[in-house]
Amino acid sequence: MEKIDSHFSAELAMLLASLEQLNGQKLKLILHVGTPKTGTTSLQTYLDKKQRKLRGKGILYPHSLEKLRHPSAPKHQWFEKNLVTTHTRHFLENFENIISQIKKDTHTVILSSEGIYNYWWDFPGESKRILSQLGELFDVQVWVWFREPLAFIESYYKQCIRNPQIKNNLCYGKDLSFAQMLEIDWFSRHLNYQDFVSECQTLFGDNSVFAFKYQGDVVQELIQRLDLATPHDNPTPKQNISLNSASIALLRSINKYDMKAKDKELLIPPLKKINEVLNGYQHESLIDDDSRKKVLELSQPVLFAET
Protein backbone atom coordinates (compact mmCIF):
# COMPACT_ATOMS: atom_id res chain seq x y z
CA MET A 1 0.00 0.00 0.00
CA GLU A 2 2.97 2.34 0.53
CA LYS A 3 3.58 2.37 -3.25
CA ILE A 4 -0.08 3.16 -3.91
CA ASP A 5 0.02 5.97 -1.34
CA SER A 6 3.12 7.51 -2.91
CA HIS A 7 1.61 7.16 -6.40
CA PHE A 8 -1.53 8.99 -5.20
CA SER A 9 0.54 11.76 -3.68
CA ALA A 10 2.75 12.14 -6.76
CA GLU A 11 -0.19 12.31 -9.19
CA LEU A 12 -2.13 14.77 -7.08
CA ALA A 13 0.95 16.92 -6.48
CA MET A 14 1.49 17.10 -10.24
CA LEU A 15 -2.09 18.25 -10.78
CA LEU A 16 -1.81 20.88 -8.06
CA ALA A 17 1.55 22.21 -9.23
CA SER A 18 0.02 23.86 -12.28
CA LEU A 19 -2.66 25.44 -10.12
CA GLU A 20 -0.11 26.94 -7.75
CA GLN A 21 1.59 28.51 -10.74
CA LEU A 22 -1.73 30.16 -11.60
CA ASN A 23 -2.64 31.63 -8.23
CA GLY A 24 0.73 31.46 -6.46
CA GLN A 25 -0.49 29.82 -3.28
CA LYS A 26 -1.57 26.52 -1.82
CA LEU A 27 -5.31 25.89 -2.12
CA LYS A 28 -7.36 25.85 1.06
CA LEU A 29 -9.42 22.67 1.46
CA ILE A 30 -12.26 22.91 3.99
CA LEU A 31 -13.60 19.52 5.06
CA HIS A 32 -17.02 19.95 6.63
CA VAL A 33 -17.52 16.68 8.50
CA GLY A 34 -20.88 17.05 10.28
CA THR A 35 -21.62 15.72 12.88
CA PRO A 36 -25.09 14.09 12.46
CA LYS A 37 -28.13 16.23 13.25
CA THR A 38 -26.24 19.52 13.15
CA GLY A 39 -27.93 20.89 10.03
CA THR A 40 -25.58 19.12 7.61
CA THR A 41 -28.23 18.49 4.93
CA SER A 42 -29.41 22.11 5.13
CA LEU A 43 -25.83 23.32 4.79
CA GLN A 44 -25.14 21.09 1.81
CA THR A 45 -28.36 22.21 0.11
CA TYR A 46 -27.41 25.86 0.64
CA LEU A 47 -23.87 25.43 -0.68
CA ASP A 48 -25.14 23.56 -3.74
CA LYS A 49 -27.71 26.26 -4.56
CA LYS A 50 -25.19 29.07 -4.04
CA GLN A 51 -22.38 27.65 -6.20
CA ARG A 52 -22.33 30.67 -8.52
CA LYS A 53 -22.25 33.13 -5.62
CA LEU A 54 -19.47 31.12 -4.00
CA ARG A 55 -17.45 31.13 -7.22
CA GLY A 56 -17.67 34.92 -7.23
CA LYS A 57 -15.90 34.81 -3.87
CA GLY A 58 -13.23 32.39 -5.11
CA ILE A 59 -14.83 29.41 -3.34
CA LEU A 60 -15.60 26.11 -5.08
CA TYR A 61 -18.28 23.70 -3.87
CA PRO A 62 -17.60 21.07 -6.53
CA HIS A 63 -19.97 18.91 -8.55
CA SER A 64 -19.42 15.18 -8.20
CA LEU A 65 -18.41 12.80 -10.97
CA GLU A 66 -21.29 11.90 -13.27
CA LYS A 67 -20.58 8.18 -12.93
CA LEU A 68 -21.29 8.19 -9.19
CA ARG A 69 -24.53 6.61 -8.01
CA HIS A 70 -26.15 9.95 -7.07
CA PRO A 71 -24.05 12.57 -8.91
CA SER A 72 -26.54 15.40 -8.31
CA ALA A 73 -26.68 14.89 -4.53
CA PRO A 74 -25.32 18.03 -2.84
CA LYS A 75 -22.77 16.14 -0.71
CA HIS A 76 -19.47 14.34 -1.18
CA GLN A 77 -19.98 10.86 0.25
CA TRP A 78 -17.34 9.46 -2.10
CA PHE A 79 -14.76 10.94 0.25
CA GLU A 80 -15.35 8.58 3.18
CA LYS A 81 -16.53 5.65 1.05
CA ASN A 82 -13.26 5.51 -0.88
CA LEU A 83 -11.27 5.86 2.34
CA VAL A 84 -13.14 3.08 4.14
CA THR A 85 -12.51 0.71 1.21
CA THR A 86 -9.06 2.16 0.39
CA HIS A 87 -10.02 2.75 -3.25
CA THR A 88 -7.09 5.05 -3.87
CA ARG A 89 -7.66 5.22 -7.63
CA HIS A 90 -11.31 6.28 -7.19
CA PHE A 91 -10.27 8.81 -4.55
CA LEU A 92 -7.77 10.33 -6.98
CA GLU A 93 -10.34 10.39 -9.80
CA ASN A 94 -12.64 12.47 -7.63
CA PHE A 95 -9.87 14.94 -6.85
CA GLU A 96 -9.00 15.15 -10.55
CA ASN A 97 -12.66 16.06 -11.12
CA ILE A 98 -12.45 18.77 -8.44
CA ILE A 99 -9.27 20.24 -9.91
CA SER A 100 -10.88 20.37 -13.36
CA GLN A 101 -13.47 22.76 -11.89
CA ILE A 102 -10.95 25.15 -10.34
CA LYS A 103 -10.57 28.61 -11.90
CA LYS A 104 -7.68 31.04 -11.72
CA ASP A 105 -9.31 33.00 -8.89
CA THR A 106 -10.29 29.93 -6.83
CA HIS A 107 -8.59 29.94 -3.44
CA THR A 108 -10.86 27.62 -1.40
CA VAL A 109 -12.53 24.26 -2.00
CA ILE A 110 -15.28 22.99 0.33
CA LEU A 111 -16.19 19.31 0.65
CA SER A 112 -19.07 18.27 2.89
CA SER A 113 -20.14 14.88 4.21
CA GLU A 114 -21.19 13.95 7.73
CA GLY A 115 -20.03 10.42 6.92
CA ILE A 116 -16.43 11.57 7.38
CA TYR A 117 -17.14 11.77 11.12
CA ASN A 118 -19.43 8.72 11.15
CA TYR A 119 -16.82 6.44 9.60
CA TRP A 120 -13.68 8.11 10.94
CA TRP A 121 -12.89 5.14 13.17
CA ASP A 122 -13.33 2.75 10.22
CA PHE A 123 -10.57 4.31 8.12
CA PRO A 124 -7.62 1.91 7.87
CA GLY A 125 -4.05 3.12 8.39
CA GLU A 126 -3.43 3.45 4.65
CA SER A 127 -6.33 5.86 4.33
CA LYS A 128 -5.14 7.94 7.26
CA ARG A 129 -1.77 8.25 5.49
CA ILE A 130 -3.57 9.50 2.39
CA LEU A 131 -5.29 12.12 4.53
CA SER A 132 -1.92 13.15 5.91
CA GLN A 133 -0.66 13.60 2.35
CA LEU A 134 -3.66 15.82 1.62
CA GLY A 135 -2.46 17.97 4.49
CA GLU A 136 0.86 18.42 2.71
CA LEU A 137 -0.71 19.26 -0.64
CA PHE A 138 -3.56 21.49 0.58
CA ASP A 139 -4.05 23.96 3.39
CA VAL A 140 -6.58 21.66 5.10
CA GLN A 141 -9.13 22.93 7.60
CA VAL A 142 -11.59 20.59 9.31
CA TRP A 143 -14.88 22.26 10.24
CA VAL A 144 -17.05 20.28 12.63
CA TRP A 145 -20.15 21.15 14.63
CA PHE A 146 -20.76 19.25 17.89
CA ARG A 147 -24.01 18.95 19.80
CA GLU A 148 -24.41 18.48 23.53
CA PRO A 149 -23.47 14.78 24.04
CA LEU A 150 -26.87 13.49 25.22
CA ALA A 151 -28.76 15.18 22.38
CA PHE A 152 -26.17 14.02 19.85
CA ILE A 153 -25.98 10.38 20.85
CA GLU A 154 -29.77 9.98 21.04
CA SER A 155 -30.11 11.44 17.53
CA TYR A 156 -27.27 9.23 16.32
CA TYR A 157 -28.99 6.18 17.82
CA LYS A 158 -32.15 7.05 15.88
CA GLN A 159 -30.13 7.40 12.67
CA CYS A 160 -28.50 4.00 13.22
CA ILE A 161 -31.92 2.40 13.70
CA ARG A 162 -33.21 4.11 10.54
CA ASN A 163 -30.25 3.09 8.38
CA PRO A 164 -30.32 -0.13 6.33
CA GLN A 165 -28.23 -3.01 7.57
CA ILE A 166 -24.61 -3.00 6.43
CA LYS A 167 -22.25 -5.93 6.54
CA ASN A 168 -19.80 -5.74 9.47
CA ASN A 169 -21.72 -2.87 11.13
CA LEU A 170 -23.20 -3.93 14.48
CA CYS A 171 -25.52 -0.93 14.81
CA TYR A 172 -27.12 -0.06 11.47
CA GLY A 173 -30.65 -1.38 11.00
CA LYS A 174 -30.65 -3.49 14.16
CA ASP A 175 -33.36 -4.13 16.75
CA LEU A 176 -31.42 -2.73 19.70
CA SER A 177 -32.38 -0.50 22.60
CA PHE A 178 -30.29 2.58 23.29
CA ALA A 179 -28.69 0.88 26.30
CA GLN A 180 -27.75 -2.14 24.19
CA MET A 181 -26.23 -0.03 21.44
CA LEU A 182 -24.27 2.04 23.93
CA GLU A 183 -22.44 -1.15 24.92
CA ILE A 184 -21.05 -1.42 21.37
CA ASP A 185 -17.66 0.29 21.15
CA TRP A 186 -18.13 1.45 17.55
CA PHE A 187 -21.23 3.40 18.62
CA SER A 188 -20.05 4.82 21.94
CA ARG A 189 -16.69 6.04 20.62
CA HIS A 190 -18.55 8.68 18.59
CA LEU A 191 -18.94 10.48 21.91
CA ASN A 192 -15.19 11.02 22.05
CA TYR A 193 -15.13 14.39 20.32
CA GLN A 194 -11.62 15.12 21.55
CA ASP A 195 -10.21 11.92 20.06
CA PHE A 196 -11.46 12.97 16.62
CA VAL A 197 -10.08 16.49 17.00
CA SER A 198 -6.69 15.24 18.21
CA GLU A 199 -6.35 12.78 15.32
CA CYS A 200 -7.18 15.48 12.77
CA GLN A 201 -4.60 17.77 14.36
CA THR A 202 -2.01 15.00 14.08
CA LEU A 203 -2.81 14.50 10.39
CA PHE A 204 -3.29 18.11 9.29
CA GLY A 205 -1.58 20.30 11.90
CA ASP A 206 -2.33 21.78 15.33
CA ASN A 207 -4.33 24.70 13.95
CA SER A 208 -6.29 22.72 11.36
CA VAL A 209 -9.47 21.93 13.32
CA PHE A 210 -12.30 24.40 13.89
CA ALA A 211 -14.80 22.85 16.32
CA PHE A 212 -18.06 24.76 16.74
CA LYS A 213 -20.89 24.39 19.22
CA TYR A 214 -24.11 23.64 17.37
CA GLN A 215 -26.63 26.39 18.12
CA GLY A 216 -29.46 25.60 15.73
CA ASP A 217 -28.60 27.23 12.39
CA VAL A 218 -25.27 26.10 10.97
CA VAL A 219 -26.03 27.71 7.59
CA GLN A 220 -26.15 31.19 9.09
CA GLU A 221 -22.88 30.55 10.94
CA LEU A 222 -21.18 29.45 7.74
CA ILE A 223 -22.57 32.45 5.83
CA GLN A 224 -20.95 34.74 8.37
CA ARG A 225 -17.62 32.88 8.29
CA LEU A 226 -17.42 32.94 4.49
CA ASP A 227 -18.49 36.61 4.32
CA LEU A 228 -21.63 35.76 2.34
CA ALA A 229 -24.16 37.44 4.63
CA THR A 230 -26.77 39.80 3.21
CA PRO A 231 -29.37 41.97 5.01
CA HIS A 232 -32.18 39.68 3.78
CA ASP A 233 -30.92 36.33 5.09
CA ASN A 234 -33.67 34.30 6.77
CA PRO A 235 -33.42 31.44 9.28
CA THR A 236 -32.73 28.15 7.52
CA PRO A 237 -35.60 25.65 7.40
CA LYS A 238 -34.78 22.16 8.65
CA GLN A 239 -34.30 19.57 5.92
CA ASN A 240 -34.55 16.47 8.15
CA ILE A 241 -37.03 16.06 11.02
CA SER A 242 -35.98 13.74 13.82
CA LEU A 243 -38.08 10.63 14.44
CA ASN A 244 -39.88 10.35 17.79
CA SER A 245 -39.70 7.38 20.15
CA ALA A 246 -42.90 5.78 18.78
CA SER A 247 -41.52 5.83 15.23
CA ILE A 248 -38.27 4.33 16.48
CA ALA A 249 -40.26 1.51 18.09
CA LEU A 250 -41.88 0.82 14.70
CA LEU A 251 -38.49 0.84 13.00
CA ARG A 252 -37.08 -1.60 15.52
CA SER A 253 -39.94 -3.97 14.67
CA ILE A 254 -39.12 -3.57 10.97
CA ASN A 255 -35.44 -4.22 11.73
CA LYS A 256 -36.30 -7.73 12.94
CA TYR A 257 -36.51 -8.67 9.26
CA ASP A 258 -33.48 -9.13 7.03
CA MET A 259 -34.68 -6.38 4.71
CA LYS A 260 -32.92 -5.09 1.61
CA ALA A 261 -31.86 -1.44 1.74
CA LYS A 262 -34.08 -0.46 -1.21
CA ASP A 263 -37.12 -2.07 0.42
CA LYS A 264 -36.53 -0.36 3.75
CA GLU A 265 -36.19 2.98 1.99
CA LEU A 266 -39.68 2.49 0.52
CA LEU A 267 -41.06 2.42 4.08
CA ILE A 268 -39.48 5.72 5.14
CA PRO A 269 -41.97 8.17 3.49
CA PRO A 270 -45.07 6.59 5.13
CA LEU A 271 -43.13 6.32 8.38
CA LYS A 272 -42.48 10.07 8.28
CA LYS A 273 -46.23 10.68 7.96
CA ILE A 274 -46.86 8.39 10.93
CA ASN A 275 -44.17 10.33 12.79
CA GLU A 276 -46.04 13.60 12.20
CA VAL A 277 -49.25 12.15 13.66
CA LEU A 278 -47.48 10.63 16.66
CA ASN A 279 -45.51 13.79 17.44
CA GLY A 280 -48.26 15.02 19.72
CA TYR A 281 -48.19 11.86 21.81
CA GLN A 282 -44.58 10.70 22.17
CA HIS A 283 -41.91 12.92 23.71
CA GLU A 284 -40.03 10.71 26.15
CA SER A 285 -36.30 10.25 25.86
CA LEU A 286 -34.90 6.95 24.66
CA ILE A 287 -32.08 7.24 27.19
CA ASP A 288 -32.67 5.70 30.63
CA ASP A 289 -31.01 7.09 33.77
CA ASP A 290 -28.15 4.57 33.82
CA SER A 291 -27.39 5.17 30.15
CA ARG A 292 -27.53 8.92 30.68
CA LYS A 293 -24.89 8.64 33.38
CA LYS A 294 -22.72 6.45 31.16
CA VAL A 295 -22.99 8.86 28.22
CA LEU A 296 -21.73 11.71 30.38
CA GLU A 297 -18.86 9.54 31.59
CA LEU A 298 -17.87 8.53 28.05
CA SER A 299 -18.16 11.94 26.41
CA GLN A 300 -14.98 13.91 25.80
CA PRO A 301 -15.68 17.62 25.25
CA VAL A 302 -13.55 19.92 23.11
CA LEU A 303 -12.54 23.54 23.21
CA PHE A 304 -14.85 25.31 20.77
CA ALA A 305 -13.65 27.92 18.28
CA GLU A 306 -14.80 31.47 18.85
CA THR A 307 -18.13 32.27 17.17
pLDDT given at position 66: 79
Q: Which domain holds residue 81?
A: 1-147+214-235
pLDDT value, residue 185: 96
Is there a domain that residue 154 lies in?
Answer: no
278 within some domain: no
Pairing of β 59-60 and β 28-32: unpaired
Q: Is residue 219 part of a domain?
A: yes
The predicted-structure confidence for 22-65, as pLDDT tens digits, reads as follows 566 789 999 999 898 898 989 999 999 999 999 999 999 999 88
Residue 253 is assigned to a structural domain of this protein = no
Residue ranges of the alpha helices (H) in 169-244? 178-182, 185-188, 193-204, 218-225
Question: For the CA atoms of 34, 215, 278, 170, what is the dihedral angle to 10 degrees?
Answer: 30
- Number of structural domains the chain divides into: 1
Please check whether residue 174 lies inside any domain of the structure: no
Residue 291 in any domain: the answer is no
The dihedrals phi and psi of 146, each to the nearest 5 degrees, come to -115, 140
Q: How confident is the model at residue 228 (pLDDT cuts 50, 70, 90)?
A: confident
Q: Which of 32, 55, 29 is nearest to 43 (CA)?
A: 32
- The predicted-structure confidence for 91-134, as pLDDT tens digits, reads as follows 888 998 998 899 888 999 999 999 999 999 999 998 998 899 88
Write down the pLDDT at residue 226: 85
CB 26 within 8 A of CB 20: yes
Q: Report percent pLDDT > 70 for the chain.
A: 89
Please write the tens of the pLDDT for every residue from 123-171: 999 899 889 988 888 999 999 999 999 999 999 999 999 999 988 899 9
DSSP H helices in 103-148: 115-118, 125-137
Q: Would residue 300 count as lying in a domain?
A: no
Specify if 177 maps to a domain: no
Contact of 80 with 111, CB cutoff 8 Å: no
pLDDT at 1: 43
> What does the pLDDT read at residue 2?
44
